[in-house]
């Protein structure tokens, strides 16, 4: 009787929140396309040599929300990593996370504007890692997806990060904390003389 009580009193195993499974053709190599999340919630494709939006996340600073559209991968518990590389110094800022990809049109799976955690949140500002401004200069963005079966796809493209939030205060802060030589605690604002990006 005691055994029966103990067995019936145990909670059931939690249900896996990812039900999508494998997307595409298991006999084909995995492929990805890079996309960005913008401040207005839209998701737009990343282009070679194009702009990459710098956005203020809840924790502050500025990040590039870099996501993917993927095919021929397991959509559940995939590892997504994003890095911004200064090609002059070879220094890198990196974010890596495990995420469940979301079904997309056209038979793909990937990052969704409804959930920022499906994007690599590449932390690039405050700028204490690059000896150049982050904004309006060319950097290299590197995105890698590895599914739980070990299938891996990587994409690298040249990008020009830009301060994408048009409000005057956010634009001034972005150009201040993302400039070369920024010092933590330095005042930033429209009236702080940094709206033009500083030195």
Averaged pLDDT in 10-residue chunks for the chain of 199 residues: 41 56 93 95 96 95 97 95 96 96 89 90 96 97 96 97 94 96 85 43
Domain holding 136, by residue range, is: 18-192
Residue at 111 is within a domain = yes
Neighbouring C-beta atoms of residue 171, cutoff 10 Å: 16
Which pairs from 166-172 meet CB under 8 Å and 24+ separation?
A: 168/195, 170/56, 171/195
pLDDT of residue 185: 86
Residue at 199 is within a domain = no
pLDDT of residue 192: 43
Q: What CATH number does the domain containing 69 carry?
A: 2.60.40.1940
pLDDT of residue 160: 98
pLDDT of residue 2: 41
| Number of domains observed in the structure of the chain | 1
Residue at 156 is within a domain = yes
What pTM does this model have? 0.84
pLDDT of residue 124: 97
Residue at 197 is within a domain = no
65 - beta bridge partners?
121
pLDDT of residue 6: 39
Residue at 3 is within a domain = no
């Amino acid at each position: 009787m005691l055994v029966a009580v103990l067995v019936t009193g145990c909670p059931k195993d939690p249900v896996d929140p990812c039900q999508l499974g494998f997307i595409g053709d298991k006999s084909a190599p995995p492929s990805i396309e890079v996309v960005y999340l913008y401040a207005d919630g839209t998701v737009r494709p990343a282009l070679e040599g194009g702009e990459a939006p710098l956005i203020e996340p809840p924790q502050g600073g500025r990040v590039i929300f870099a996501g993917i559209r993927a095919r021929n991968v397991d959509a559940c518990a995939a590892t997504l990593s994003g890095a911004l590389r200064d090609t002059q110094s070879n220094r890198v800022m990196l974010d890596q996370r495990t995420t469940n990809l979301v079904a997309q049109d056209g038979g793909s799976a990937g990052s969704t504007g409804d959930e920022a955690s499906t994007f690599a949140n590449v932390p690039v500002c405050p700028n204490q890692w690059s000896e150049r401004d982050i904004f309006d200069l060319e950097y290299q963005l590197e995105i890698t997806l590895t599914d739980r079966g070990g299938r891996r796809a990587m994409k690298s493209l040249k990008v020009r990060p830009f301060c994408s939030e048009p409000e005057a205060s956010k634009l001034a802060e972005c150009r201040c904390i993302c400039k070369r030589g920024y010092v933590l605690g330095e005042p930033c604002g429209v009236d702080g003389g940094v709206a033009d990006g500083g030195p």
